[in-house]
Structure formats: structure tokens, C-alpha cells
Amino acid sequence: MDLTERTSHPGTSISMSDERRLLNMQTDDDERWEAHLDAYRRADGLYRGGKLKEALLTFRVALSLEPGDSDTLWAIADCYSELGKYWKAKSLYKQAMRDADPGDKGDLTYNIANALLDAGQPRAALKLYRRVPRSSKSFLLAKRNAILAVRRVGSRRA
């Protein structure tokens, strides 16, 4: 059989050499994903160990291997939040929310609200705390922080 002979696939035809190239791409994708996971796990260990700047750099390596990965964006935002860079954190949480699983969006909303509260924007934070759904793991925390936001809004009026 000639290696350039076409094999049939549903809805398309592809040459054997193209098929081999696609299989190699899949292998490359798998290897890149594994490298991403390895970098993410190392970064997570650094984060949990309180080494925030090192964690941030390593999460960025993970993100370079899987651009747009919502979990990695979320982790980078957590680093910025812990480093006191709330506006950067807020921006990255929003970016992570675009491709996040629907079940994670409430937790990301909670984190955006926290960044706003920490940045001195209690009114904006309060609006978001109220939007965290009951189904979210962060629902009770959002309720508690909403009370804190109300107090901060009240203290600004006095």
C-alpha cells in the first residue's frame, strides 16, 4: 500500500502521512499537558509553603504550557491577591471565569469580591458577594464577608 493512499474517516479523508503527523501532535500535546501539570503541582507546593513569588513564577511556567487554563489563571490571581496586588488579582480572576467550569464561577465571584474589598471597594464587593449562588462552596463565606463589607460602607459614611 502506498503511504500517501487515503484512508476514510467519517466526513473527511486524510493521508497516512497526515495521520502520523496528527498522532505526533497528540503525543506533543500530551507531553505538554504533563509538563503543565508538573509545573502546576510544584507551584502549588510553593504557594502552600508561603513562597508566593516563587509560586507565581512557576504558575506562569505552567500557564505558558497551557495558555488560558482557568485553574492556572485562578492560582496566579491567588498569588497576586496574597501579595497585595488586588487589581491584578481581580483582572486574572475575571479572565479565569471566562473558561471556568460553571460550578467554579461562584467561587471566582467570591474571590473577585474579596479583591475588591481588600482594595478598599466595599460597595462593589458587596454587590458581588450577593451574587454568589447558594450552590457555591463559598456561599457562607460570601455571606460573612458581605456583613464585613456593609460595616466598611457604614464606617465610611460616619
Taking only the tens place, the pLDDT of each residue in 38-65 is 999 999 999 999 999 999 999 999 999 9
- Domain annotation covers residue 6: no
Instruction: Please check the confidence at residue 87 and state whether its pLDDT lies above 60.
Output: yes
| Over residues 102-119, mean pLDDT | 96
Whether residue 27 is found in the same domain as residue 73: no
pLDDT value for 24:
58
- Domain annotation covers residue 4: no
Helix and strand counts by DSSP (H, E) for the chain = 7, 2
pLDDT value for 26:
64
Whether residue 49 is found in the same domain as residue 78: no
Whether residue 154 is found in the same domain as residue 78: yes
Please give the Cα distance from 7 to 26 (Å, whole number). 19
pLDDT value for 28:
77
Phi/psi at 18 (5° precision):
-65, -40
Taking alpha carbons only, the member of 35, 68, 38, 42 closest to residue 57 is 42
- Domain annotation covers residue 5: no
Ramachandran quadrant class, 51 (left: phi over 0; alpha: psi -120 to 50; beta: rest): beta
In the chain, % of residues over pLDDT 70: 82
31 is written with which cell numbers?
507531553
pLDDT higher for 16 or 100?
Answer: 100
Whether residue 57 is found in the same domain as residue 129: no
